[in-house]
Amino acid sequence: MLYKSAIVESEDIDFLFDAGIYNEDIDIREVAAIQGFYEKHGYIPDNYIITFLNWLTYSARKNISNELEDVTKSSFAGRCAIAQSFFDQILEKLNLKKMTFNVGDVLGTDPIHALTCVEIPTVVNGERVSRTFMLDPTFRQFCIAEENRFERYNEEERWGVRMATPHPGYFFNLTDEGREFAEGLIHYGFFEVNEKSLKTYFDPFALYVTPKEEYEDQNQVGMVSSTTASGLDYWDRMVSSIEKPLVGSRGFDLSTPREIIQREDRRLINRIRNRNVQKELDSMFESQNLDNSINNQSKK
């Protein structure tokens, strides 16, 4: 398991979806090899992209969490801007193209959720292409059961993004497709960008910022799961909403996979060297004791 047990038990939060946070073993040497291949050839082999992204989103979740909490139970509420800042810095270091923006800018509202897209160069059928992925490791914050009740339409505005509406998870939960998409995003923290995925992702946010008063048919309040906007519409708005992320307020561990391996190898070498030095010292000590013993015996 990747994440250590929490030192202090975190309060259990009820979520709409049962998906757990990715917590499977990551072979850091394999990821380091992927990084090395990219630096040498300028692309990541297509079948290794997911492995690389799993490490990337795991690193983000680790950096935005503290050592006391149970990351697998966290909602990550309020940490999207921190995650965005981490991605901005680590992707810059890895020399991968990225795009940062806020969902609120895409929808023409106040800031809602800070996001990052990364462009991964690869080769498919012998042709150089790029695949783009949305990085959203904190999406789970929009799936807290308490904030996703229909009754939110009739309650006061609250903390976080203050809307008197259910959070986006409510609208994902209206369809099988939405539920499957949300489950995957909660688990992995990323999805590949295309027209269909963009519409599936942004429609619930658009409905979230739509108060009940804007529905012509009040019987449709809380029943609608999609909007008239297309995935391409959302993409165009994203591109026109690019912004520089806020500088992270905490010290991130920006070690790349290759740096991690180099550090581990140095520690191993030092342990071996120290062990050998200790053996030599022990041997010298034993030899000196033997000489002293012989000398003492000869004097008797």
User: What's the pLDDT at 294?
Assistant: 39
Residue 69 confidence (pLDDT): 85
Could you say which residues of the chain have pLDDT below 70? 1, 5-11, 159-162, 246-250, 268-300
Predicted local confidence at residue 67, as pLDDT = 81
Tokens 């999609």, residue?
226
**Local structure of 118: helix, strand or coil:** strand
Write down the pLDDT at residue 39.
Answer: 97
Q: Where are the beta strands (DSSP E) in 6-86?
A: none
- What are the Cα distances from residue 163, in Å, to 106, 108, 159, 204? 17, 14, 9, 13
Q: Hey, what are 1's tokens?
A: 């398991």
- Output phi, psi for 247, to 5 deg: -70, 130
What b-and-e string marks burial along 235-260, b requiring 16 or more CB atoms within 10 Å of the CB?
Answer: bebbeebeeebeebeeebeeebbbeb
Please list the residues that pair with 130 across neighbouring strands. 121
pLDDT attached to residue 7:
57
Dihedral in degrees, nearest 10, Cα atoms 31, 34, 38, 44? -110
Amino acid at 159: W
